[in-house]
Structure 1
Protein backbone atom coordinates (compact mmCIF):
# COMPACT_ATOMS: atom_id res chain seq x y z
CA UNK A 1 0.00 0.00 0.00
CA UNK A 2 1.50 3.26 -1.05
CA UNK A 3 0.81 6.67 0.39
CA UNK A 4 -0.08 9.47 -1.93
CA UNK A 5 0.86 13.07 -1.36
CA UNK A 6 -1.39 15.74 -2.79
CA UNK A 7 0.09 18.97 -3.92
CA UNK A 8 -1.85 22.20 -4.20
CA UNK A 9 -3.13 22.79 -7.63
CA UNK A 10 -2.35 25.83 -9.73
CA UNK A 11 -5.63 27.52 -8.78
CA UNK A 12 -4.83 27.31 -5.05
CA UNK A 13 -1.30 28.59 -5.61
CA UNK A 14 -2.62 31.50 -7.56
CA UNK A 15 -5.16 32.22 -4.81
CA UNK A 16 -2.50 32.20 -2.10
CA UNK A 17 -0.33 34.45 -4.21
CA UNK A 18 -3.10 36.99 -4.71
CA UNK A 19 -4.05 36.84 -1.04
CA UNK A 20 -0.51 37.63 0.06
CA UNK A 21 0.04 40.37 -2.52
CA UNK A 22 -3.31 42.13 -2.17
CA UNK A 23 -2.57 43.87 1.19
CA UNK A 24 0.69 45.24 -0.19
CA UNK A 25 -1.16 46.64 -3.20
CA UNK A 26 -3.41 48.62 -0.85
CA UNK A 27 -0.39 49.80 1.17
CA UNK A 28 1.71 50.67 -1.87
CA UNK A 29 0.36 54.24 -2.46
CA UNK A 30 0.89 55.23 1.17
CA UNK A 31 4.32 53.61 1.33
CA UNK A 32 5.33 55.33 -1.91
CA UNK A 33 4.22 58.73 -0.64
CA UNK A 34 6.03 58.16 2.66
CA UNK A 35 9.18 57.14 0.80
CA UNK A 36 9.16 60.15 -1.54
CA UNK A 37 8.03 62.86 0.86
CA UNK A 38 9.40 61.61 4.20
CA UNK A 39 12.16 59.03 4.18
CA UNK A 40 14.11 60.24 1.15
CA UNK A 41 14.12 63.89 2.39
CA UNK A 42 15.10 62.60 5.83
CA UNK A 43 18.05 60.73 4.37
CA UNK A 44 18.99 63.78 2.29
CA UNK A 45 18.91 65.94 5.42
CA UNK A 46 21.26 63.55 7.24
CA UNK A 47 23.59 63.63 4.22
CA UNK A 48 23.58 67.45 4.00
CA UNK A 49 24.39 67.78 7.70
CA UNK A 50 27.97 66.76 6.88
CA UNK A 51 28.42 69.39 4.15
CA UNK A 52 28.79 73.10 3.76
CA UNK A 53 25.94 73.53 1.30
CA UNK A 54 26.86 76.07 -1.38
CA UNK A 55 24.28 76.35 -4.17
CA UNK A 56 25.80 76.64 -7.66
CA UNK A 57 29.32 76.28 -6.18
CA UNK A 58 29.26 72.68 -5.06
CA UNK A 59 28.87 71.26 -1.58
CA UNK A 60 31.99 70.99 0.57
CA UNK A 61 32.51 68.12 3.01
CA UNK A 62 33.00 69.42 6.56
CA UNK A 63 32.33 66.29 8.61
CA UNK A 64 31.05 67.03 12.10
CA UNK A 65 31.81 70.76 11.93
CA UNK A 66 28.13 71.63 11.48
CA UNK A 67 27.22 69.70 14.63
CA UNK A 68 30.03 71.33 16.60
CA UNK A 69 29.09 74.79 15.38
CA UNK A 70 25.41 74.30 16.19
CA UNK A 71 26.00 72.87 19.66
CA UNK A 72 28.43 75.67 20.61
CA UNK A 73 26.12 78.43 19.34
CA UNK A 74 24.81 80.30 22.41
CA UNK A 75 21.54 81.11 20.66
CA UNK A 76 20.98 77.45 19.91
CA UNK A 77 21.78 76.61 23.54
CA UNK A 78 19.21 79.17 24.65
CA UNK A 79 16.72 77.63 22.21
CA UNK A 80 17.31 74.20 23.75
CA UNK A 81 16.64 75.55 27.25
CA UNK A 82 13.45 77.26 26.02
CA UNK A 83 12.39 73.99 24.37
CA UNK A 84 12.86 72.07 27.61
CA UNK A 85 10.94 74.62 29.68
CA UNK A 86 8.14 74.87 27.14
CA UNK A 87 8.00 71.12 26.49
CA UNK A 88 7.94 70.13 30.16
CA UNK A 89 5.38 72.80 31.03
CA UNK A 90 3.10 71.95 28.11
CA UNK A 91 3.40 68.20 28.71
CA UNK A 92 2.70 68.27 32.45
CA UNK A 93 0.05 70.97 32.15
CA UNK A 94 -1.65 69.15 29.29
CA UNK A 95 -1.67 65.85 31.19
CA UNK A 96 -3.04 67.38 34.39
CA UNK A 97 -5.68 69.42 32.55
CA UNK A 98 -6.62 66.44 30.38
CA UNK A 99 -6.96 64.22 33.44
CA UNK A 100 -9.23 66.74 35.18
CA UNK A 101 -11.34 67.14 32.04
CA UNK A 102 -11.65 63.37 31.74
CA UNK A 103 -12.85 63.09 35.33
CA UNK A 104 -15.38 65.88 34.81
CA UNK A 105 -16.71 64.63 31.47
CA UNK A 106 -16.75 60.89 32.11
CA UNK A 107 -20.14 59.27 31.59
CA UNK A 108 -22.66 58.17 28.96
CA UNK A 109 -25.09 61.09 29.09
CA UNK A 110 -25.83 62.72 25.74
CA UNK A 111 -25.09 66.18 27.12
CA UNK A 112 -21.61 65.00 28.11
CA UNK A 113 -21.01 63.75 24.56
CA UNK A 114 -21.88 67.17 23.18
CA UNK A 115 -19.60 68.90 25.70
CA UNK A 116 -16.75 66.45 24.97
CA UNK A 117 -17.12 67.21 21.25
CA UNK A 118 -16.96 70.94 21.93
CA UNK A 119 -13.94 70.54 24.20
CA UNK A 120 -12.15 68.49 21.54
CA UNK A 121 -12.47 71.20 18.87
CA UNK A 122 -9.01 72.74 19.52
CA UNK A 123 -7.41 69.42 18.49
CA UNK A 124 -9.06 69.30 15.06
CA UNK A 125 -8.55 73.01 14.40
CA UNK A 126 -5.44 74.02 12.48
CA UNK A 127 -2.65 75.11 14.81
CA UNK A 128 -2.08 78.26 12.77
CA UNK A 129 -5.72 79.26 13.24
CA UNK A 130 -5.55 78.59 16.98
CA UNK A 131 -2.33 80.56 17.25
CA UNK A 132 -3.82 83.52 15.42
CA UNK A 133 -6.86 83.43 17.69
CA UNK A 134 -4.69 83.46 20.80
CA UNK A 135 -2.53 86.21 19.35
CA UNK A 136 -5.66 88.35 19.09
CA UNK A 137 -6.66 87.40 22.63
CA UNK A 138 -3.21 88.49 23.83
CA UNK A 139 -3.53 91.86 22.06
CA UNK A 140 -1.36 94.18 24.20
CA UNK A 141 -3.81 97.08 24.50
CA UNK A 142 -6.99 97.32 26.55
CA UNK A 143 -8.96 96.21 23.45
CA UNK A 144 -7.62 92.68 23.72
CA UNK A 145 -9.94 90.02 25.13
CA UNK A 146 -7.77 89.09 28.11
CA UNK A 147 -6.68 92.65 28.83
CA UNK A 148 -10.27 93.87 28.66
CA UNK A 149 -11.11 91.34 31.39
CA UNK A 150 -8.19 92.63 33.45
CA UNK A 151 -9.50 96.16 32.92
CA UNK A 152 -12.74 95.18 34.66
CA UNK A 153 -10.61 94.26 37.68
CA UNK A 154 -8.80 97.58 37.57
CA UNK A 155 -5.58 96.09 36.22
CA UNK A 156 -3.60 97.62 33.37
CA UNK A 157 -3.04 95.92 30.01
CA UNK A 158 -0.21 93.35 29.94
CA UNK A 159 1.98 92.95 26.81
CA UNK A 160 1.99 89.17 26.99
CA UNK A 161 3.81 88.48 23.72
CA UNK A 162 5.92 91.64 23.65
CA UNK A 163 7.55 91.11 27.04
CA UNK A 164 10.48 88.63 27.19
CA UNK A 165 9.45 87.71 30.74
CA UNK A 166 5.91 86.64 29.80
CA UNK A 167 6.08 85.56 26.13
CA UNK A 168 7.22 81.99 26.84
CA UNK A 169 4.57 81.45 29.53
CA UNK A 170 1.87 82.87 27.28
CA UNK A 171 2.89 80.41 24.57
CA UNK A 172 2.84 77.60 27.12
CA UNK A 173 -0.74 78.47 28.11
CA UNK A 174 -1.89 78.14 24.51
CA UNK A 175 -0.06 74.83 24.15
CA UNK A 176 -1.74 73.41 27.26
CA UNK A 177 -5.13 74.53 25.95
CA UNK A 178 -4.48 72.60 22.72
CA UNK A 179 -3.01 69.43 24.27
CA UNK A 180 -5.47 68.92 27.12
CA UNK A 181 -8.46 67.75 24.98
CA UNK A 182 -6.28 65.23 23.12
CA UNK A 183 -5.01 63.79 26.39
CA UNK A 184 -8.57 63.82 27.72
CA UNK A 185 -9.75 61.40 25.01
CA UNK A 186 -6.97 58.90 25.72
CA UNK A 187 -7.54 59.09 29.48
CA UNK A 188 -11.28 58.67 28.97
CA UNK A 189 -10.56 55.42 27.14
CA UNK A 190 -8.53 54.30 30.14
CA UNK A 191 -11.25 55.29 32.59
CA UNK A 192 -13.78 53.22 30.65
CA UNK A 193 -11.92 50.08 31.71
CA UNK A 194 -11.98 50.81 35.45
CA UNK A 195 -14.04 48.32 37.45
CA UNK A 196 -16.96 50.32 38.91
CA UNK A 197 -17.43 47.83 41.75
CA UNK A 198 -14.15 49.06 43.21
CA UNK A 199 -15.59 52.56 43.52
CA UNK A 200 -18.72 51.21 45.17
CA UNK A 201 -16.70 49.16 47.66
CA UNK A 202 -14.46 52.15 48.41
CA UNK A 203 -17.50 54.38 48.99
CA UNK A 204 -18.99 51.85 51.40
CA UNK A 205 -15.70 51.76 53.32
CA UNK A 206 -15.65 55.54 53.62
CA UNK A 207 -12.58 56.02 51.43
CA UNK A 208 -11.94 59.66 50.52
CA UNK A 209 -11.97 60.96 46.95
CA UNK A 210 -8.20 61.49 46.91
CA UNK A 211 -7.57 57.92 48.10
CA UNK A 212 -9.89 56.56 45.41
CA UNK A 213 -8.00 58.50 42.76
CA UNK A 214 -4.63 57.39 44.11
CA UNK A 215 -5.30 53.70 44.73
CA UNK A 216 -7.98 52.85 42.15
CA UNK A 217 -8.09 55.33 39.26
CA UNK A 218 -4.40 56.07 38.70
CA UNK A 219 -3.22 52.41 38.76
CA UNK A 220 -6.04 51.42 36.39
CA UNK A 221 -5.22 54.09 33.79
CA UNK A 222 -1.44 53.69 33.99
CA UNK A 223 -1.20 52.33 30.41
CA UNK A 224 -3.18 55.30 29.08
CA UNK A 225 -0.99 57.71 31.04
CA UNK A 226 2.10 56.02 29.59
CA UNK A 227 0.84 56.62 26.07
CA UNK A 228 -0.04 60.23 26.89
CA UNK A 229 3.39 60.83 28.42
CA UNK A 230 5.19 59.38 25.38
CA UNK A 231 3.22 61.50 22.92
CA UNK A 232 3.57 64.60 25.09
CA UNK A 233 7.35 64.18 25.27
CA UNK A 234 7.60 63.95 21.48
CA UNK A 235 5.31 66.93 20.89
CA UNK A 236 7.14 68.98 23.50
CA UNK A 237 10.45 68.68 21.66
CA UNK A 238 8.93 69.30 18.24
CA UNK A 239 6.92 72.39 19.13
CA UNK A 240 7.09 74.88 16.27
CA UNK A 241 3.82 76.22 14.89
CA UNK A 242 2.61 77.63 18.19
CA UNK A 243 5.80 79.63 18.66
CA UNK A 244 6.11 80.65 15.02
CA UNK A 245 2.56 82.01 14.80
CA UNK A 246 2.52 83.74 18.18
CA UNK A 247 5.98 85.26 18.46
CA UNK A 248 8.22 83.98 15.67
CA UNK A 249 10.84 83.27 18.33
CA UNK A 250 10.81 86.79 19.79
CA UNK A 251 10.92 89.13 21.47
CA UNK A 252 14.72 89.17 21.63
CA UNK A 253 14.82 85.40 21.17
CA UNK A 254 13.00 84.75 24.44
CA UNK A 255 10.71 82.14 22.82
CA UNK A 256 13.17 80.75 20.29
CA UNK A 257 12.94 76.93 20.43
CA UNK A 258 14.78 74.07 18.76
CA UNK A 259 12.73 73.96 15.57
CA UNK A 260 12.39 77.72 15.12
CA UNK A 261 16.17 78.01 15.43
CA UNK A 262 16.65 75.30 12.80
CA UNK A 263 14.12 77.11 10.61
CA UNK A 264 16.00 80.39 11.01
CA UNK A 265 19.31 78.74 10.12
CA UNK A 266 17.90 77.13 7.01
CA UNK A 267 15.56 79.75 5.57
CA UNK A 268 16.77 83.07 6.97
CA UNK A 269 20.55 82.58 7.09
CA UNK A 270 20.68 80.02 4.24
CA UNK A 271 22.78 77.72 6.42
CA UNK A 272 21.38 74.44 5.10
CA UNK A 273 24.16 72.36 6.66
CA UNK A 274 23.63 73.85 10.12
CA UNK A 275 19.84 73.50 9.86
CA UNK A 276 20.22 69.86 8.79
CA UNK A 277 22.56 69.17 11.71
CA UNK A 278 20.10 70.75 14.16
CA UNK A 279 17.27 68.65 12.69
CA UNK A 280 19.30 65.43 12.92
CA UNK A 281 20.13 66.18 16.55
CA UNK A 282 16.43 66.72 17.24
CA UNK A 283 15.63 63.38 15.60
CA UNK A 284 18.23 61.58 17.71
CA UNK A 285 17.05 63.18 20.96
CA UNK A 286 13.41 62.40 20.11
CA UNK A 287 14.21 58.74 19.43
CA UNK A 288 16.25 58.48 22.63
CA UNK A 289 13.50 60.11 24.69
CA UNK A 290 10.83 57.87 23.16
CA UNK A 291 12.80 54.71 23.86
CA UNK A 292 13.53 55.83 27.42
CA UNK A 293 9.91 56.68 28.18
CA UNK A 294 8.71 53.38 26.71
CA UNK A 295 11.30 51.47 28.72
CA UNK A 296 10.19 52.96 32.03
CA UNK A 297 6.53 52.59 31.03
CA UNK A 298 6.92 48.86 30.31
CA UNK A 299 8.97 48.45 33.46
CA UNK A 300 6.18 50.07 35.47
CA UNK A 301 3.57 47.84 33.80
CA UNK A 302 5.54 44.73 34.75
CA UNK A 303 5.63 45.84 38.37
Structure 2
Protein backbone atom coordinates (compact mmCIF):
# COMPACT_ATOMS: atom_id res chain seq x y z
CA UNK A 1 0.00 0.00 0.00
CA UNK A 2 1.41 3.34 -0.95
CA UNK A 3 1.61 6.30 1.30
CA UNK A 4 -0.90 8.11 -0.88
CA UNK A 5 -3.44 5.28 -0.56
CA UNK A 6 -2.91 5.11 3.20
CA UNK A 7 -3.63 8.82 3.48
CA UNK A 8 -6.66 8.55 1.23
CA UNK A 9 -8.32 5.69 3.13
CA UNK A 10 -8.86 7.51 6.47
CA UNK A 11 -9.99 10.54 4.54
CA UNK A 12 -12.56 8.39 2.80
CA UNK A 13 -13.79 6.83 6.01
CA UNK A 14 -14.41 10.10 7.83
CA UNK A 15 -17.27 11.22 5.56
CA UNK A 16 -18.86 7.80 5.84
CA UNK A 17 -18.60 7.92 9.64
CA UNK A 18 -20.06 11.42 9.71
CA UNK A 19 -22.85 10.29 7.42
CA UNK A 20 -23.62 7.36 9.65
CA UNK A 21 -23.82 9.65 12.69
CA UNK A 22 -26.04 12.05 10.77
CA UNK A 23 -28.34 9.20 9.78
CA UNK A 24 -28.49 7.69 13.24
CA UNK A 25 -29.12 10.91 15.17
CA UNK A 26 -32.57 11.68 13.63
CA UNK A 27 -33.65 8.09 14.11
CA UNK A 28 -32.72 8.19 17.77
CA UNK A 29 -34.57 11.48 18.21
CA UNK A 30 -37.56 10.04 16.42
CA UNK A 31 -37.55 7.05 18.75
CA UNK A 32 -37.43 9.30 21.78
CA UNK A 33 -40.30 11.43 20.43
CA UNK A 34 -42.34 8.30 19.83
CA UNK A 35 -41.74 7.09 23.36
CA UNK A 36 -42.67 10.52 24.73
CA UNK A 37 -45.77 10.75 22.53
CA UNK A 38 -46.84 7.30 23.61
CA UNK A 39 -47.05 8.38 27.26
CA UNK A 40 -49.11 11.55 26.75
CA UNK A 41 -52.06 9.94 28.52
CA UNK A 42 -50.21 9.35 31.81
CA UNK A 43 -50.78 12.89 33.24
CA UNK A 44 -54.44 12.68 32.24
CA UNK A 45 -54.68 9.35 34.02
CA UNK A 46 -53.62 10.97 37.29
CA UNK A 47 -55.97 13.91 36.70
CA UNK A 48 -58.92 11.71 35.80
CA UNK A 49 -60.33 11.18 39.35
CA UNK A 50 -60.36 14.91 40.10
CA UNK A 51 -61.76 15.75 36.68
CA UNK A 52 -64.55 13.21 37.09
CA UNK A 53 -65.47 14.68 40.48
CA UNK A 54 -65.45 18.21 39.06
CA UNK A 55 -67.58 17.09 36.14
CA UNK A 56 -70.15 15.31 38.29
CA UNK A 57 -70.40 17.73 41.21
CA UNK A 58 -69.68 21.08 39.52
CA UNK A 59 -70.02 21.29 35.76
CA UNK A 60 -73.09 19.08 35.34
CA UNK A 61 -74.98 20.92 38.15
CA UNK A 62 -73.99 24.24 36.54
CA UNK A 63 -75.46 23.12 33.23
CA UNK A 64 -78.61 21.92 34.97
CA UNK A 65 -78.96 25.24 36.80
CA UNK A 66 -78.76 27.15 33.52
CA UNK A 67 -81.38 24.83 32.04
CA UNK A 68 -83.68 25.17 35.07
CA UNK A 69 -83.38 28.97 35.04
CA UNK A 70 -85.54 29.13 31.89
CA UNK A 71 -88.07 26.58 33.07
CA UNK A 72 -90.81 26.27 35.63
CA UNK A 73 -89.57 23.33 37.65
CA UNK A 74 -92.36 20.93 38.58
CA UNK A 75 -91.07 17.78 40.27
CA UNK A 76 -92.73 14.57 39.02
CA UNK A 77 -94.91 16.58 36.60
CA UNK A 78 -92.37 17.75 34.06
CA UNK A 79 -90.79 21.15 33.60
CA UNK A 80 -92.38 23.89 31.52
CA UNK A 81 -90.41 26.27 29.30
CA UNK A 82 -90.91 29.88 30.46
CA UNK A 83 -87.97 31.61 28.78
CA UNK A 84 -86.78 34.72 30.58
CA UNK A 85 -89.82 34.94 32.89
CA UNK A 86 -87.81 33.71 35.88
CA UNK A 87 -85.17 36.39 35.30
CA UNK A 88 -87.78 39.09 34.95
CA UNK A 89 -89.50 38.02 38.15
CA UNK A 90 -86.39 37.87 40.28
CA UNK A 91 -84.97 41.13 38.92
CA UNK A 92 -88.22 42.94 39.69
CA UNK A 93 -88.34 41.53 43.21
CA UNK A 94 -87.72 43.96 46.07
CA UNK A 95 -86.15 41.17 48.10
CA UNK A 96 -83.61 40.47 45.34
CA UNK A 97 -82.60 44.13 45.11
CA UNK A 98 -82.23 44.36 48.87
CA UNK A 99 -80.20 41.14 48.97
CA UNK A 100 -78.00 42.43 46.14
CA UNK A 101 -77.24 45.63 48.05
CA UNK A 102 -76.46 43.69 51.23
CA UNK A 103 -74.19 41.36 49.24
CA UNK A 104 -72.28 44.29 47.74
CA UNK A 105 -71.84 45.93 51.16
CA UNK A 106 -70.73 42.65 52.67
CA UNK A 107 -68.30 41.90 49.83
CA UNK A 108 -66.77 45.39 49.84
CA UNK A 109 -66.43 45.46 53.63
CA UNK A 110 -64.91 42.00 53.90
CA UNK A 111 -62.60 42.54 50.91
CA UNK A 112 -61.23 45.88 52.08
CA UNK A 113 -61.00 44.84 55.72
CA UNK A 114 -59.37 41.45 55.16
CA UNK A 115 -56.84 42.81 52.67
CA UNK A 116 -55.89 45.74 54.91
CA UNK A 117 -55.61 43.63 58.05
CA UNK A 118 -53.82 40.86 56.16
CA UNK A 119 -51.28 43.36 54.80
CA UNK A 120 -50.60 44.78 58.25
CA UNK A 121 -50.21 41.30 59.74
CA UNK A 122 -47.83 40.33 56.93
CA UNK A 123 -45.62 43.33 57.64
CA UNK A 124 -45.60 42.49 61.37
CA UNK A 125 -44.76 38.79 61.09
CA UNK A 126 -42.36 38.92 58.13
CA UNK A 127 -39.12 37.17 59.02
CA UNK A 128 -37.48 33.78 59.54
CA UNK A 129 -37.21 33.38 63.32
CA UNK A 130 -38.92 30.54 65.16
CA UNK A 131 -41.09 32.90 67.18
CA UNK A 132 -42.50 34.45 64.03
CA UNK A 133 -43.18 30.98 62.62
CA UNK A 134 -45.28 30.17 65.68
CA UNK A 135 -47.09 33.51 65.46
CA UNK A 136 -47.86 32.97 61.77
CA UNK A 137 -49.24 29.51 62.50
CA UNK A 138 -51.40 30.88 65.33
CA UNK A 139 -52.65 33.75 63.17
CA UNK A 140 -53.56 31.33 60.36
CA UNK A 141 -55.69 29.21 62.70
CA UNK A 142 -59.05 30.90 61.86
CA UNK A 143 -58.69 29.80 58.23
CA UNK A 144 -58.44 26.08 59.04
CA UNK A 145 -61.21 26.13 61.65
CA UNK A 146 -64.55 25.05 60.09
CA UNK A 147 -66.79 27.98 59.29
CA UNK A 148 -69.62 26.44 61.32
CA UNK A 149 -67.41 26.51 64.43
CA UNK A 150 -66.36 30.09 63.68
CA UNK A 151 -69.98 31.19 63.31
CA UNK A 152 -70.99 29.52 66.58
CA UNK A 153 -68.10 31.14 68.47
CA UNK A 154 -68.97 34.59 67.17
CA UNK A 155 -72.64 34.02 67.87
CA UNK A 156 -71.74 33.41 71.51
CA UNK A 157 -69.49 36.49 71.62
CA UNK A 158 -72.26 38.58 70.02
CA UNK A 159 -74.70 37.76 72.83
CA UNK A 160 -76.87 40.89 73.06
CA UNK A 161 -77.09 41.14 76.85
CA UNK A 162 -74.67 42.99 79.10
CA UNK A 163 -73.17 39.66 80.10
CA UNK A 164 -72.03 38.93 76.54
CA UNK A 165 -68.29 38.77 75.92
CA UNK A 166 -68.04 41.71 73.52
CA UNK A 167 -70.57 43.75 75.50
CA UNK A 168 -68.41 43.30 78.58
CA UNK A 169 -65.45 44.66 76.60
CA UNK A 170 -67.56 47.61 75.47
CA UNK A 171 -68.56 48.20 79.09
CA UNK A 172 -64.91 48.61 80.05
CA UNK A 173 -64.61 51.66 77.77
CA UNK A 174 -67.92 53.13 78.85
CA UNK A 175 -70.09 52.04 75.91
CA UNK A 176 -73.52 50.54 76.41
CA UNK A 177 -74.46 47.00 75.38
CA UNK A 178 -75.08 46.45 71.68
CA UNK A 179 -77.48 44.07 70.01
CA UNK A 180 -74.91 43.11 67.36
CA UNK A 181 -76.51 40.45 65.14
CA UNK A 182 -79.89 40.96 66.85
CA UNK A 183 -80.05 44.65 65.89
CA UNK A 184 -80.97 45.53 62.26
CA UNK A 185 -78.62 48.53 62.41
CA UNK A 186 -75.51 46.54 63.39
CA UNK A 187 -76.21 43.00 62.19
CA UNK A 188 -74.59 43.35 58.75
CA UNK A 189 -71.53 45.12 60.18
CA UNK A 190 -71.18 42.32 62.74
CA UNK A 191 -71.08 39.71 59.96
CA UNK A 192 -68.51 41.82 58.10
CA UNK A 193 -66.28 41.78 61.19
CA UNK A 194 -66.59 38.00 61.40
CA UNK A 195 -65.63 37.65 57.73
CA UNK A 196 -62.63 39.94 58.16
CA UNK A 197 -61.43 37.96 61.18
CA UNK A 198 -61.56 34.73 59.20
CA UNK A 199 -60.28 36.02 55.83
CA UNK A 200 -57.39 38.24 56.95
CA UNK A 201 -55.01 35.37 57.89
CA UNK A 202 -55.42 33.84 54.42
CA UNK A 203 -54.60 37.18 52.81
CA UNK A 204 -51.65 37.51 55.20
CA UNK A 205 -50.06 34.30 53.86
CA UNK A 206 -50.45 35.48 50.26
CA UNK A 207 -48.89 38.83 51.16
CA UNK A 208 -45.99 37.05 52.87
CA UNK A 209 -45.31 35.12 49.67
CA UNK A 210 -45.38 38.39 47.72
CA UNK A 211 -43.06 40.13 50.18
CA UNK A 212 -40.55 37.32 49.80
CA UNK A 213 -40.35 38.05 46.07
CA UNK A 214 -39.43 41.73 46.46
CA UNK A 215 -35.77 42.50 45.87
CA UNK A 216 -34.08 43.28 49.19
CA UNK A 217 -31.68 45.56 47.36
CA UNK A 218 -34.49 48.04 46.79
CA UNK A 219 -34.98 48.38 50.55
CA UNK A 220 -31.25 48.84 51.09
CA UNK A 221 -31.11 51.50 48.42
CA UNK A 222 -34.10 53.26 49.99
CA UNK A 223 -32.40 53.24 53.40
CA UNK A 224 -29.24 54.70 51.89
CA UNK A 225 -31.32 57.46 50.30
CA UNK A 226 -32.78 58.25 53.73
CA UNK A 227 -36.31 56.94 53.13
CA UNK A 228 -38.45 56.41 56.22
CA UNK A 229 -40.42 53.24 56.97
CA UNK A 230 -43.59 54.80 55.59
CA UNK A 231 -41.82 55.86 52.40
CA UNK A 232 -40.34 52.38 51.92
CA UNK A 233 -43.78 50.86 52.22
CA UNK A 234 -45.34 53.36 49.80
CA UNK A 235 -42.62 53.36 47.16
CA UNK A 236 -41.12 49.86 47.41
CA UNK A 237 -43.51 47.43 49.09
CA UNK A 238 -46.82 48.46 47.56
CA UNK A 239 -45.54 48.66 43.94
CA UNK A 240 -43.92 45.25 44.37
CA UNK A 241 -47.21 43.76 45.59
CA UNK A 242 -49.43 44.98 42.74
CA UNK A 243 -49.91 41.48 41.25
CA UNK A 244 -50.67 40.12 44.71
CA UNK A 245 -53.29 42.81 45.31
CA UNK A 246 -54.99 41.95 42.02
CA UNK A 247 -55.16 38.24 42.86
CA UNK A 248 -56.33 38.83 46.42
CA UNK A 249 -58.96 41.31 45.29
CA UNK A 250 -60.52 38.70 43.00
CA UNK A 251 -60.37 35.96 45.66
CA UNK A 252 -61.73 38.17 48.42
CA UNK A 253 -64.49 39.62 46.23
CA UNK A 254 -65.63 36.16 45.13
CA UNK A 255 -65.52 35.05 48.77
CA UNK A 256 -67.71 38.00 49.72
CA UNK A 257 -70.23 37.45 46.93
CA UNK A 258 -70.53 33.78 47.88
CA UNK A 259 -70.94 34.39 51.62
CA UNK A 260 -73.54 31.98 52.92
CA UNK A 261 -72.59 29.78 55.86
CA UNK A 262 -71.71 32.54 58.33
CA UNK A 263 -74.84 34.52 57.39
CA UNK A 264 -77.05 31.44 57.53
CA UNK A 265 -75.75 30.32 60.92
CA UNK A 266 -75.53 33.74 62.55
CA UNK A 267 -78.74 35.44 61.41
CA UNK A 268 -80.36 33.41 58.59
CA UNK A 269 -80.95 36.71 56.81
CA UNK A 270 -82.52 38.47 59.79
CA UNK A 271 -83.45 40.48 61.64
CA UNK A 272 -86.08 41.89 59.28
CA UNK A 273 -84.00 40.95 56.24
CA UNK A 274 -81.13 43.27 57.22
CA UNK A 275 -78.53 40.57 56.48
CA UNK A 276 -80.28 38.81 53.61
CA UNK A 277 -77.68 38.16 50.90
CA UNK A 278 -78.01 36.55 47.49
CA UNK A 279 -76.87 33.13 48.61
CA UNK A 280 -79.36 32.93 51.49
CA UNK A 281 -82.13 34.29 49.25
CA UNK A 282 -81.37 31.66 46.59
CA UNK A 283 -81.36 28.95 49.25
CA UNK A 284 -84.73 30.03 50.61
CA UNK A 285 -86.29 30.33 47.15
CA UNK A 286 -85.07 26.90 46.11
CA UNK A 287 -85.30 24.74 49.21
CA UNK A 288 -87.84 26.47 51.44
CA UNK A 289 -90.29 27.87 48.88
CA UNK A 290 -89.63 25.19 46.24
CA UNK A 291 -89.23 27.81 43.48
CA UNK A 292 -86.28 26.11 41.87
CA UNK A 293 -86.55 27.90 38.52
CA UNK A 294 -86.35 31.37 40.07
CA UNK A 295 -83.60 30.25 42.43
CA UNK A 296 -81.60 28.94 39.45
CA UNK A 297 -82.05 32.27 37.68
CA UNK A 298 -80.66 34.06 40.73
CA UNK A 299 -77.70 31.67 40.84
CA UNK A 300 -76.95 32.32 37.17
CA UNK A 301 -77.07 36.08 37.73
CA UNK A 302 -74.69 35.76 40.67
CA UNK A 303 -72.32 33.68 38.54
CA UNK A 304 -72.41 36.25 35.74
CA UNK A 305 -71.70 39.09 38.18
CA UNK A 306 -68.70 37.22 39.58
CA UNK A 307 -67.47 36.43 36.07
CA UNK A 308 -67.76 40.06 34.93
CA UNK A 309 -65.89 41.26 38.03
CA UNK A 310 -63.07 38.79 37.44
CA UNK A 311 -62.73 39.67 33.75
CA UNK A 312 -62.73 43.42 34.46
CA UNK A 313 -60.00 43.09 37.09
CA UNK A 314 -57.87 40.99 34.75
CA UNK A 315 -58.28 43.50 31.91
CA UNK A 316 -57.29 46.41 34.16
CA UNK A 317 -54.31 44.44 35.38
CA UNK A 318 -53.12 43.71 31.83
CA UNK A 319 -53.48 47.35 30.82
CA UNK A 320 -51.34 48.47 33.74
CA UNK A 321 -48.69 45.88 32.93
CA UNK A 322 -48.68 46.93 29.27
Instruction: Give the shorter-chain TM-score range.
Output: over 0.9
1:240 aligns with 2:260: yes
Aligned match of 2:237: 217
1:282 aligns with 2:302: yes
Deviations 1:244-285 (A, max 9, x none): 111111000000011111111001110000000000111111
Asked if 2 retains the 8 angstrom alpha-carbon contact of 1:98 and 1:180, the reply is: yes
Look up the match of 2:154.
134
Q: Which structure 1 residue ranges, 5 or more long, are not aligned?
A: none
Q: CA deviation at 1:238?
A: 1.1
The 8 Å contact of residues 80 and 258 in structure 1, kept in 2 or not, is answered as yes
Q: Is 1:271 matched with 2:291?
A: yes
Distance across 2 between alignment mates of 1:186 and 1:156: 38
Shift of 1:120: 0.4
5 Å-filtered alignment, 1:63-212, equals 63-212=83-232
For 2:314, which of 288, 294, 297 is the aligned residue? 294
Give the CA deviation at 1:179: 1.1
The offset of 1:95, in angstroms, is 0.7
Question: In 2, Cα distance between the equivalents of 1:49 and 1:72?
Answer: 16
Indicate the SS of the match to 1:54: coil
Identify the residue that residue 31 of structure 1 maps to in structure 2.
51
The alpha-carbon deviation at position 18 of structure 1 amounts to 4.5
Please say if residues 94 and 183 of structure 1, whose CA atoms lie closer than 8 Å, have aligned partners that are also in contact: yes
In 2, distance between residues paired with 1:226 and 1:11? 45
CA distance in 2 between partners of 1:278 and 1:66 (Å):
9
TM-score between the two structures when normalised by the length of structure 2:
0.88
Tell me how large the CA RMSD over aligned residues is.
Answer: 2.2
Structure 2: segments with no counterpart, 5+ residues = 1-15
Post-superposition Cα deviations, 1:175-212, rounded to whole Å, max 9, x if no partner, equal 11111111111111111122223222322332222221
Distance 1:14 1:215 in 2: 53
2 CA distance for matches of 1:80 and 1:200? 47
- Residue 145 of structure 1: CA displacement? 1.0
**Secondary structure of 2:245's partner?**
helix
- Find the structure with the greater CA-based Rg: 2
TM-score, normalization: structure 1? 0.94
